[in-house]
Amino acid sequence: MSTDIRHTTAQNLSSFIESIGEKKFRCAQIEEWLWKKGVRSFDEMSNLPVALREQLKSNFTFLTSGIAAMVQSKDGTAKFVFNLHDKRQVEGVLIPSDNRVTACISSQVGCPLKCAFCATGTMGFVRNLHSSEIFDQFLLMNKKSQELYNQNITNIVYMGMGEPLLNYESVIRSVQWITSPKGQGLSPSRITLSTVGIASGIKRLADDGFKPEIALSLHCADELKRRRLMPVTESQNFEMLQDALVYLHEKTGKRITIEYLMLKNWNDSLADAKKLFAFCRPFPVKINLIEYNATQSGFEKSNEETVREFIAFLESKNMIVNVRHSRGKDIDAACGQLVKKVK
C-alpha cells in the first residue's frame, strides 16, 4: 500500500519532489493543501500541475476518516463516531458554551489503562491513532461546528478515548499542525492535553517546550486507593508523578490543572480533600472537580453538600477550585462515557 502523504516527513516529501525534477516550492504548496486547507484528495490541489498530481497519486495515498454517526444532546453537545481507514472506530465530542465550542478528541482506539470509572477502558486497547487521524477529527468536527453552531472550534481537549502520552509522537505532531500558522493556526493556549500521569511523558513535554495546557486526571490523592481506581498508579507512583509535575513547572512555568472526579463515599471526604491539598502543594495548580457520569462501573456521584464541604476546605487553603458540570450525559458523550456507542 502507498504511504499516506500526511504520514511522510517534510524531509522525505522534499526528497521526493526533488527526485521527480520539481521545484522545492511545491513542498510548501502541498503542505498548505494538507494542513491549512485540509484537503482529502490530490485532485483538490488545484495550483499543482496535473502531471505532479498524477505523480503524487502514484506514490502516495490519503487514509482519510469519515463520520459514521452523529447524535446531539438536548443541551447542544454533539457526539460523533468516526470510521477510520481500517474499519476501526473512535468517538469525539463537540461542546458549545457561550462564545466557545470545545472539541474533545481521541488519541487511541480504546485504552490500555482500565480505569475503574471509565467506559472506554472496557474496550481494551486496539491501536494508536496516527497524527492524521487525530487531525481528521478536528477537521470533520470543525465543519460540523460551523453547521451546528455557526462557529469554528475555539478550544480542543485531548480527553477522548485513550491516553495521549502513550501515543506521544502522533499527538504532538497533530498539535503542531493544528497550532502552526502554516496549519490551522489555533493558539496553543486553547489546547489542553489530559493525562493520567505518565511521568516520563510529562518530563518529555517539559523538555520539548510543550506550549498547550496540561491537565492531570488525578481523581484520588490517596495512593493506595488510586491504585484500585486507576491501575496505572502501580507503575507511576505519587513520588514519580509529583517529581515530573515539579519538573514541568520549573521548565515551563505552567500551572497544572488537576482533574478530580467526585465519587460518592470513595474520594469525597474531608480526609480526601486534605490529601489532595498535600499532593498539590509542591507546584501551582487549579483544581477542576468533575461531576461523575454514570457508566456500569457501580460508582455514584457525590451529593451536593459533600461537594460544597470539599470545596470549602480547599478554598480555605487558597486553592483555585472550579466545578465542572457534565454535558451530553443523555447521549453518553460526557467524560468517561466514550465507548464507541451512539444511541
Q: What is the DSSP letter of 43?
A: G
**Euclidean distance between CA atoms 103 and 106, whole angstroms:** 10
CA atoms lying within 13 Å on the CB side of residue 193: 28
Other C-beta atoms within 10 Å of 10: how many? 11
Cβ atoms of 80 and 91 within 8 Å: the answer is yes
Q: Looking at the chain, which runs of residues are DSSP E strands?
A: 3-4, 60-61, 66-72, 78-83, 89-97, 100-104, 108-110, 125-128, 155-158, 191-195, 213-217, 256-262, 285-291, 320-324
- Closest CA relative to residue 168, chosen from 118, 207, 136, 141: 207
Q: Which three cell numbers stand for residue 120?
A: 472506554
Q: Which three cell numbers stand for residue 73?
A: 444532546
Q: What is the DSSP letter of 236?
A: S
Q: Which three cell numbers stand for residue 179?
A: 497550532
**Euclidean distance between CA atoms 121 and 210, whole angstroms:** 27
**Euclidean distance between CA atoms 146 and 296, whole angstroms:** 34
**Euclidean distance between CA atoms 222 and 292, whole angstroms:** 18
What is the set of active-site residues? Answer: 91, 335
**Euclidean distance between CA atoms 156 and 173, whole angstroms:** 15
